[in-house]
Amino acid sequence: MGHMHDPMLEALRSLTGRPDADFRPDQRAAIEALVERRDRVLVVQRTGWGKSAVYFLATHLLRQQQFGPTLLISPLLALMRNQIDAAERLGLRCMTVNSSSATTVDELSARLEADDVDLVLVSPERLANPDFAGKAMPILGRRPGLVVIDEVHCISDWGHDFRPDYRRIGRLIANFGDGNVPVLGCTATANSRVVEDVAQQLGASITTYRGQLGRDGLALSAVRLPRQAERLAWLAEHLAELPGSGIIYCLTIRDVENVTSWLRRQGHDVAGYTGATISDDREEMERRLQANDLKALVATSALGMGYDKPDLGFVVHFQMPGSPVAYYQQVGRAGRALEHSQALLLCGKEDVNIQDYFIDAAFPDPQDVDAVLAILDEAAGPVSLRDIATNVDVKWTQIELVLKQLDVEGVVRRVKGQSYERTLTPWIYPHERVAGVTDARRWEQQLMFDYADTSGCRMRFLTDLLDDDMAGGCGICDNCRGEMLQPSTSSTLIADAEAFLRNRPLMIEPRKQSIPISERNQQGRTLAHWGDSGWGPMVQQGRRDGHFADELVDAMAEMITEWAPSPAPEWVAAVPSDRTTSLVPGFAARVAARLGLVFVPLLERAAERPPQVEMQNSPHQSANVVGAFTLGEPPMPGPVLLIDDLVDSGWTLTETGRLLSRSGSGPVYPLVLAISTGRRT
């Protein structure tokens, strides 16, 4: 007797390219709920379960029934390339509009009008784009087939990765078509509280399919290595021993650059991947990792949700993520199709400061919101982002956050480009919600420390936080095995890593906008980043003591000698200190003596101004230094080293350099002890 015809199973096998593929538990039921009953469905399943198969197959079947295209909302479209390839094997015509795609909104709209697209992929931010909202969305809304919300935990305040733009989605669904469109929300990281919040925001009744979240074969380990040099040495010593190819996660772009550079110097085949990496390079790196042509990608969280490599052998964290749930999601990329894989957490001293910054920056201050609204209330029409920044001394990123949150709540409207106008919707700052979410983030941060220090099963620790019942321990984490990660045993490697951190070439790029070429500084150099390992602690100590150590004089002189700027500097000037009159000039005089150059203390303060560190954005930082300095004597005509202790916005160096250039000096080379961008007293 022949097999019965099963269109859904045949479609699955076309999608996967495997003639023996079969449905995992709940996959078929979720598809039937969407296609046959047009339900609203929430799928909470571990990474690798096959959530994308549900929405691709549902789209395929709904299109066969003459329903309209699927709208897929995903936070990281760039990482869905391999999934889109699979969808196209099923015959689905996919289109996406984002900053790295060549498709325009007009092209998408034309294809939608012609019913020539099956799946539209957009980021949640795209929903707020006036062009997309005005042209493509009305066409999609005429006969909606399906709405898919990938990483749906982002819709919840209580999710570990809440994103303001996701708050638009509830309103979108209520007004989409006749409000009766089937909806699929997918996540691998949602506890009961998040599930309840998601269900409330999506409206109607929700059918939930929740599976076991524990990962068989994934061995979790953790070790505290406070100094960056210790962690760099550990990676250099042990990376080759880790199975296959993997990912090394860092919290910041700067750390990605440092770890990548260090490991390459140690002979490891790695590449750096961040949100700032250009699209073509990201695709090439993804391809190389997919082909096991790299030992590792060193990455920020930009490589996370949506990236699919079933044979990923390991995930290492160079620093501690902000929550165990975020950590679970990232380590869940490892070993989906392997019997054994590893996830290793290296905990650093700087982790808490970085996470504190992220927590503090998550919501705008009430006074910042009021200041932005006051500008919009007084305006007769739309106001540009730059005009707001000129009139309000608030950090640029915070102004963007204010406008995004107000836009999501309907209090302001983005009308074109980067311009906004006020609506009639009243605004009340959500103090209770902000306090609740901030407290939750602090609790999650503490849980991450608890995870690092736990003596129990690490996998069970994570799954308990996801309200997942896991019987017994995993049997393979470091605690279950009784085999703990050990620090690097190579004192030579640690010393080499310390030297690397102290001798990185750090550039200071000159400001160019609105600065005449003849008055621009040359590219400069700095010894360190404020707060980093290497020279950073010694710079901080010198600021506290009012005197910089001789080691910093020697290091600065050595850096200049290795740099060898051309034409060579002939004399040295100093930005007058704003705290202790002799701190920077005294240091500059010692550097000049060490180099055999003359020090000329000609720069003076013409007016007392607030410290630059108190200025929050570029327009105010620029205005604060204009006219703040004068020359006590004419400059020497040759090239000059312009020394300061810290650089943040760069406007102090720009203004003093312009003053020297306008008065007859040669090329100006800025030279500082530390970059302090983002530092606040």
For the chain, which residues make up each domain, given as ranges?
7-210, 218-351+455-499, 359-432, 504-675
pLDDT, tens only, 518-568:
999 999 999 998 877 789 889 999 999 999 999 999 999 999 999 999 999
Q: How far from each other are the two terminal CA atoms of the chain, in whole angstroms? A: 79
| pLDDT tens-digit map of 569-600 | 999 999 997 655 689 999 999 999 999 999 99
**Per-residue pLDDT at 48 exceeds 80:** no
Kindly give, in sequence order, each residue whose CB lies less than 8 Å from that of residue 461, ignoring residues fewer than 6 positions away: 324, 450, 451, 454
| Residues of the chain above pLDDT 70, percent | 95
CA 507/CA 256 separation, integer angstroms: 17
**Amino acid 1: pLDDT:** 42
- Write down the pLDDT at residue 681: 28
Least confident of 243-247, 400-404, 533-537: 533-537
Domain at 7-210: CATH code: 3.40.50.300
Predicted structure pTM score: 0.84
- Residue given tokens 């889109």 in the structure block: 84
Cβ(635)–Cβ(663) under 8 Å?
yes
Q: Which one of 3.40.50.300, 3.40.710.10, 3.40.50.720, 1.10.15.40 gives the CATH number of domain 218-351+455-499?
A: 3.40.50.300
DSSP state of 568: P
Closest Cα partner for 285 from 261, 267, 263, 303?
Answer: 303
Share of the chain above pLDDT 90, in %: 59
* pLDDT score for 680: 35
Between CA 586 and CA 94 the distance in angstroms is 64
State mean pLDDT over 115-142: 89
How far apart, in whole angstroms, are the C-alpha atoms of residue 353 and residue 359?
10
pLDDT at 468: 82
Q: Which residue has the higher pLDDT, 122 or 103?
A: 122
Report the CATH architecture of 359-432: Orthogonal Bundle (1.10)
Confidence of residue 197 (pLDDT cuts 50, 70, 90): confident
pLDDT-derived band of residue 489, with 50, 70 and 90 as boundaries?
confident
Sequence-ordered strand ranges (E) for 190-312? 206-210, 218-224, 246-249, 270-273, 296-299
Query: How many other CB atoms sit within 10 Å of the CB of residue 482?
Result: 6
**In the structure, what pLDDT confidence band is assigned to residue 2 with cuts at 50, 70 and 90?**
very low
Q: State the average pLDDT over residues 338-354.
A: 93
- The encoded tokens of residue 624 equal 């604060």
Domains 218-351+455-499 and 504-675 fall in the same CATH topology: yes
Burial of 227 (0-12, 13-18, 19+ CB in 10 A): middle
**Residue 159 clears pLDDT 60, i.e. is over it:** no
- The answer to which of 56-60, 205-209, 440-444 has the lowest mean pLDDT is 205-209
CATH fold label, 504-675:
Rossmann fold (3.40.50)
pLDDT attached to residue 522: 97
